[in-house]
Amino acid sequence: MTSLLVAILTLMAIPLVSSSVSELPLCGGTIKSYVEAKLDYPDLAPALDTLSEFPTAVWWTDNNSTYRNETLATLATCNSSSIPIIVVYGLPHKDCGAGYSDKGFNKDTESYLAFIQDLVTLVGNRPVLYVMEPDAIGIAATDSCGKTNQYVENMQQAVPLLTANVDARLYFDVGYWTLKDDSSTKSVADVIASVGSKSRKGAVKGIVLNTSNFRKTPEMIDKCKAFLTAAKKDTYRCVIDTSRNYRTPNTTSEWCNNKYAAIGVPPTSNTGMPDVLDYFLW
């Protein structure tokens, strides 16, 4: 526990260069897994309490039976002068290549759009940061199953609902693996242009890299720059999930919840690279 606390406190002390972008403070709700972990591992409670001080995204996902209550709690915690972070993860037939995450109740476009509208109604017109459908853009750009399951068409209908709120900021998740070369990066940029064209003007702010993954920040910055070049859109920026990317795992076979992962830079808009990065997020 001591080593974990030292790691967390060290991260809290990292100096971050202030961004030129004026932002409201990020906000997150109570993380269910932290609450459960404190019950299972009471000796880690102080470390988990420290982690809880940092804003962490809530997932609006049909894979989780308590998603609505968790999101309501987050919105109740975050006042209108802050930005809650909400990951939208509800596409019908999501994760169609591997199938590990396709456990939700959205089975068609109608149910998906009702799921999206429910979120839009709860959020209202307050500031919000949406992370759109982890992996979906990459799968749509590189895997035939994304086309078969109409990922692009479904997101094209969801995006205008999410961005009708003038204070909504939307970023498309692209994983990181989809930007492996110039050709795939261009394909991703083309899909984002297609889906993003349905949004309120200016609402799409760019992409998210490394969601729920472990790749280190310098690698993700290089991927971001490659995407920005391919997208040819001056207003786009990137967001990097730093929640467990302090060090690269020492094995590639243990890709899910790798035990060698470590906590990265805390969530902030002060990235030190305002022309490239809008946020580090958890």
* The pLDDT value given to residue 252: 63
Separation CA 202–CA 204 (nearest Å): 6
Separation CA 189–CA 174 (nearest Å): 10
Q: State yes or no: 213 annotated in a binding site.
A: yes
Separation CA 206–CA 81 (nearest Å): 22
Identity at 227, one-letter amino acid code: F
Identity at 16, one-letter amino acid code: L
Q: State yes or no: 282 annotated in a binding site.
A: no
- Catalytic residue flag (residue 118): no
* The pLDDT value given to residue 18: 36
Q: State yes or no: 60 annotated in a binding site.
A: no
User: What are the structural domains of the chain?
Assistant: 2-6+20-281 (3.20.20.40)
Please pick, among 95, 135, 173, 241, the residue that the annotation labels catalytic.
135
Whole-model pTM above 0.85? yes
Mean per-residue pLDDT pooled into runs of 10, the chain (282 residues): 45 40 80 92 96 96 96 95 98 87 92 99 98 94 89 98 98 92 96 97 97 93 98 97 87 73 94 97 97
- What Rg value do the Cα atoms of the chain yield, rounded? 18
Scanning the structure block, which residue is given the tokens 């242009």? 193
Separation CA 22–CA 41 (nearest Å): 39
Separation CA 19–CA 201 (nearest Å): 23
In terms of Cβ atoms closer than 10 Å to its own Cβ (0-12, 13-18, 19+), residue 146 is buried
